[in-house]
Structure 1
């Protein structure tokens, strides 16, 4: 039975890392704040919707609205802690996201990153990369429902992407419950010589 299923360079000086074991016992000993319920595996149970710029020669035309229902699998696990500039203490959860087209089960998006919690300042960061030579750092106030945003300075991309499909801004809203995770995200693009708002939205359920 089928289940439905985008960093500036950072100087490494004054940043220290210590690897934490990713066992459940260690995860329970670390305060991940609102991120704690995420640890585990999540899958779509109804299709998400991706609205992306159409490719040259596609049915919707170059830069048209290509609507693609999808399903996904996300896995979250306890990762590492870090201290920035001797002052900012962080804990991180690593995640892997794999997204598949509903119509043919082909994977069309792969994302690896960290959700990072700053307890003292009550901030969460989403630091991730996708294999289009694009990486993002978005941030926002911690909570079970939160909006994380990245201006253009928070987005790193290849020279090709800067010239041909640049990401100008990114935002993501997360709504975390014990067994459900809903999100919407928006990337402001300039592609094919014009502006395009790329959106995705989905709800997942925790399976383990």
Structure 2
């Protein structure tokens, strides 16, 4: 805010992500890409315009309604994994279900299915300190899948990983996407972004003209 005038982080954004797409958002620091991700994830609401998820506008929704929308339809994956250190992989994955009326046995079954889907069937009782960085990110992805979300939002999901492990995580995202999962990820890495169906370049709060790239390395 300068001299009482508002500073607009995003301007004239018009973006549609289709069900089953894998989209990468790129841009320099301060470009607005993280704000765009937060809007897509219903972590914040726009001052002007609106966000629609599954055909429903979030405009006018209360904090509680937005929280339910996130819980039921959005899975989040972060750069730093955000796992509970003294908790097993299985229990880390079940955490989102603890806020719902889901029986412990059912929660454990679903968590086991998600961990198996990301290749960690043999690591369910391991704590984060017993897992590699790539394995910890797989646990985080399994946690994002536990509520069977309509969309996965991944903020720099390979940022804390070496190149080989990054490739493994992106292979997993592509596999999930081939199975119909919608994926939107923010990344600074062109090699990562090129594996998506589209790359959206954000600069100075706007989507750059001609920034939609339909070529994919998949």
State the TM-score bracket (shorter-chain normalisation). under 0.3
Normalized per residue, the structure richer in strand is 1
TM-score by length of 1: 0.24
Normalized per residue, the structure richer in helix is 2
RCO comparison, higher one (Cα < 8 Å, 6+): 2
TM-score by length of 2: 0.24
